[in-house]
Amino acid sequence: MLICNFSSFLHKLCYTFLGFHLFFLFTFTFCFLQPRNTEAEPLKNQVLFNPMALAGKNISLEYERAFTSSMGLAIRSNIVSDWEWKGGKNENEAGDDYDWIYSVDGYGAGLSARFYPWGKAPEGFHIGPRCDYISFYGTYEDRARNRETVDTSMTLGTAHFEIGYKDVLGGFLVMGTFVDFGYAFARSVDASSLLALTYIFGGGIYIGAAF
């Protein structure tokens, strides 16, 4: 039941924004797709913010460094607040149709390796793997068994593949977008058991600065 509900939750969240991400990705790419100035060297560092992550109550900040003309490495911080994972379809005393509720906060980090076929890293079209790991701490309420709310902890990990595009406007303003797909898993720290394993589709928008 937990696996089904977690999968359903992630799929609804991902599909809600997937169409927008795809539309924005291709629109942005074709609007700004133009012959690159081969004489100008791109700035090697970027600080990026993903506002779409706020839909999942996640503050995601990222730093990317281009190590070669065709490869960049990004590290990411994730801070999640007031995240709720609810499930169950039976009637309960609260009358809200949920048998159990996780109410948690979390923090974690992520890593992305990006390859730039145009050879202008960290600008332009890019592809590559990415992963994220977040630890959650909060409470668990079992309404179906009418048990008291208890403290709990769990971890969420993802391993996926990213396709995206970034451009630098006005010499410093970074704008871009990406879509990604892969797998996510949730594991209970207390019981050391796997709560969920599911595939995901997602994406986001980049807004930041180059230097």
Other CB atoms within 10 Å distance of the CB of residue 30: 10
Per-residue model confidence (pLDDT) at position 106: 96
Per-residue model confidence (pLDDT) at position 19: 47
Per-residue model confidence (pLDDT) at position 96: 59
Per-residue model confidence (pLDDT) at position 84: 87
Long-range contacts of 36-41 (CB under 8 A, 24+ apart): 36/118, 36/120, 36/123, 36/124
Model's pTM, two decimal places? 0.77
Per-residue model confidence (pLDDT) at position 196: 80
The amino acid that residue 64 corresponds to is: E
Q: Domain map of the chain by residue range?
A: 2-34+49-210
Per-residue model confidence (pLDDT) at position 99: 82
CATH number for the region 2-34+49-210 comes to 2.40.160
Per-residue model confidence (pLDDT) at position 39: 59
Per-residue model confidence (pLDDT) at position 110: 97
- Sequential pLDDT tens for the chain (211 residues): 444 455 554 544 454 444 445 545 555 554 455 445 545 789 999 999 999 999 889 999 999 999 999 999 999 999 999 988 887 765 545 555 678 888 999 999 999 999 999 999 999 999 999 999 999 999 988 877 778 899 999 999 999 999 999 999 999 999 999 999 999 998 887 656 788 888 889 889 999 999 9
